[in-house]
A and B are shown apart, each in its own frame.
Chain A
Amino acid sequence: QQPVQSPQAVILREGEDAVINCSSSKALYSVHWYRQKHGEAPVFLMILLKGGEQKGHEKISASFNEKKQQSSLYLTASQLSYSGTYFCGTETGGYQKVTFGIGTKLQVIP
């Protein structure tokens, strides 16, 4: 079952912050985050594992709340290069496959 992402779209000005949420109806073993620019392949950002700590990648970080079956991606001081569609992917057991949400389209404007 696909995880639910919110918001579906967001427009930011350079320097503003954003939060993208990902929630699942099933218990989560791991959450993956990817970014896809228009016409390109998705690119890996980070993985959060059950029992793991919050991860960070430059000014992009994420948290994983196992009890709430949710993950959030935090983008701080956004840059034009952050524009794209962000996908969360959830793994609910077996460590074999990931189910992706429909994505959050983020646009950063000057």
Chain B
Amino acid sequence: NAGVTQTPKFRVLKTGQSMTLLCAQDMNHEYMYWYRQDPGMGLRLIHYSVGEGTTAKGEVPDGYNVSRLKKQNFLLGLESAAPSQTSVYFCASSHGGNQPQHFGDGTRLSIL
């Protein structure tokens, strides 16, 4: 059972570069989430999706875009990376909003 898979696991970018983080789940979950985790800040929701073709903003959406073209995939894009976006990014999925969330192993992103 793969569960939730995030790629890549590590990445170093230069300021201004762009990149896409991929999240894939094989549990047929409707809901998917992108969080960022910074020291002392907990998990903060960036964007989320309640079904294929839908997306919505979370607490800290600025500087990020997302797409959910297929039910199993949720992509997080950084169009012009900034040092403030250095963080650990977690993807999660669930059957619904009041159901357990299953997290991926995270992506460590450093922006120089």
Q: Is the CB of B105 within 8 A of A100?
A: no
Q: Is the CB of A100 within 8 A of B44?
A: yes
The proximity string for A residues 41-72 relative to B, scoring 1 for CB distances below 8 Å and 0 otherwise, is 11110010100000000000000000000000
CB neighbors of A among B24-48 (8 A): 31, 33, 35, 40-45, 48
Interface size class of A (residues with CB under 8 A): 20 to 34
> Interface size on B (CB < 8 Å)?
26
Query: In the complex, are the beta carbons of A95 and B97 less than 8 A apart?
Result: yes
* Alpha-carbon separation in the docked complex, A29 to B97 (Å): 11
Contact B97 A102 (CB under 8 A): no
Hey, which chain B residues are within 8 Å of A30, CB to CB?
Answer: 98
Interface residues of B (CB under 8 A from A): 31, 33, 35, 40-45, 48, 50, 56, 58-59, 90, 96-106
Which A residues are within 8 Å of any B CB, using their own CB? 2, 29-30, 32, 34, 40-44, 47, 49, 87, 89, 91, 94-103
